[in-house]
Amino acid sequence: MRLTGDWLLPVMRVPYVPTIGPVHPDALAPALFADIVRVAGTGIFLPYDKDQRWAERKDETVLPDAIEHTSVRTLIPTLARRGHGVLTVYSYGPGNEEAAALAAKLAADHATATARVITFQRPDEDPPAGTAAIRVQLREFHRSQSEDQEGRVQPVDSLPGSVQAAFAAFADRLTSDGFTFLHRQMQAGMVGPVLAVTEAERVVGAIGPMETMTDSAGRTRLLPQYFGVLPEHRGHGYGRALWRAAMAWGAAHGADYQLLQTETGGASDRLCQAEGLRSLGFICATKL
């Protein structure tokens, strides 16, 4: 299936590519969609796919033969085998009923436990009621800007040994935020630095790993991080200090921009908005 840019790009409300995620608006091009179709079913990571940090093979794949592509609407289904399987239809343009019908059919065909439809809303549109909405946010770095490193934030590997050892307890407290997984990656030496803030000789907040990757257009992207502060230590500025330290790291290491996905109305969402990030719109998930 060849996806035509003249049909697809005009109905894209958010610069989001299935299996890849959000991309910089300037990098959005039909070639990205050609790439995800080309590697469908191979398990190969595209060179600009951020997910290659975490696995040896790509799980989510496009189902090329099931793509529906017209001048009005494009439906791109994907299959992920993790867990008991997830069938997702990414819907660009009108036709949510058609997208739901396609998702239900393909979920039955592939015997997946979950079927869902992903739709998109522009920044000035309200997400539909009853959907789980994620805001896509863009932070751009300018070489003329100076980013000040927060003095109370330090890389975990520079902390005293006893404090480093206490990171395990912190990670266990924030397992649902991904920190147990991150800690395993840190122990294996497989990720970049993780920044932390401490109190009374223990870690109370962290952000990381700090890593960059070249995107499809040749620009340097600061990759998303795990980010969390222990509940009893929230409201004291630790989250903002960690965020600003991460931005200072990105600027110092040549990043051109960062893309983030934040749960609408959540703490990270409010922080990003307060820090002046540009909203690129909303990703709206409806589980069938």
Dihedral angle of Cα 47, 53, 58, 59, to the nearest 10 degrees: -150
Whole-number pLDDT of residue 131: 75
Last residue of a domain, one of 135, 167, 192: 135
Number of domains in the chain: 2
What average pLDDT does this structure show over 174-181?
95
Tell me if 110 is assigned to some domain: yes
Last residue of a domain, one of 92, 118, 135: 135
Tell me if 195 is assigned to some domain: yes
Burial class (CB in 10 A: 0-12, 13-18, 19+), 84: exposed
Average pLDDT in the chain: 93
- The answer on pLDDT for 146 being more than 60 is no
Do 123 and 189 fall into the same domain?
no
Whole-number pLDDT of residue 286: 92
Tell me if 272 is assigned to some domain: no
Banded pLDDT at 142 (limits 50, 70, 90): confident
What average pLDDT does this structure show over 160-185?
95
Per residue in 5-35, pLDDT tens? Answer: 899 999 999 999 999 999 999 999 999 999 9
Do 109 and 35 fall into the same domain?
yes
Question: Where are the strands (E) in the chain, listed by range?
Answer: 16-17, 21-22, 61-62, 68-69, 74-80, 86-92, 114-121, 132-140, 153-155, 195-199, 202-208, 212-214, 220-222, 226-229, 257-263, 278-287
Higher pLDDT: 118 or 144? It is: 118
Whole-number pLDDT of residue 149: 54
Do 68 and 113 fall into the same domain?
yes
- The answer on pLDDT for 144 being more than 60 is no
Do 221 and 238 fall into the same domain?
yes
Do 73 and 150 fall into the same domain?
no
- The answer on pLDDT for 128 being more than 90 is no
Tell me if 148 is assigned to some domain: yes
Do 131 and 166 fall into the same domain?
no
Is residue 165 helix, strand or coil? helix
- The answer on pLDDT for 147 being more than 80 is no
Banded pLDDT at 265 (limits 50, 70, 90): confident
Do 110 and 189 fall into the same domain?
no
Whole-number pLDDT of residue 2: 80
Tell me if 273 is assigned to some domain: no
Tell me if 286 is assigned to some domain: no
| Residue percentage of the chain with pLDDT more than 90 | 85
Banded pLDDT at 151 (limits 50, 70, 90): low
Do 113 and 146 fall into the same domain?
no
Do 114 and 186 fall into the same domain?
no
Q: What is the CATH number of the domain that holds 148?
A: 3.40.630.30
Last residue of a domain, one of 74, 109, 135: 135
**Which residue in this structure is represented by tokens 């990171």?**
167
Do 203 and 111 fall into the same domain?
no
pTM value? 0.92
Do 18 and 58 fall into the same domain?
yes
Do 220 and 121 fall into the same domain?
no
| Residue percentage of the chain with pLDDT more than 70 | 97
Whole-number pLDDT of residue 174: 97
Domain that holds residue 207: 142-255
Per residue in 43-66, pLDDT tens? Answer: 999 999 999 999 999 999 999 999
d(CA 178, CA 157): 19
Find, among 241, 227, 136, 240, the residue nearest to 176 by Cα: 227
Tell me if 159 is assigned to some domain: yes
- The answer on pLDDT for 148 being more than 90 is no
Banded pLDDT at 150 (limits 50, 70, 90): low
Tell me if 263 is assigned to some domain: no
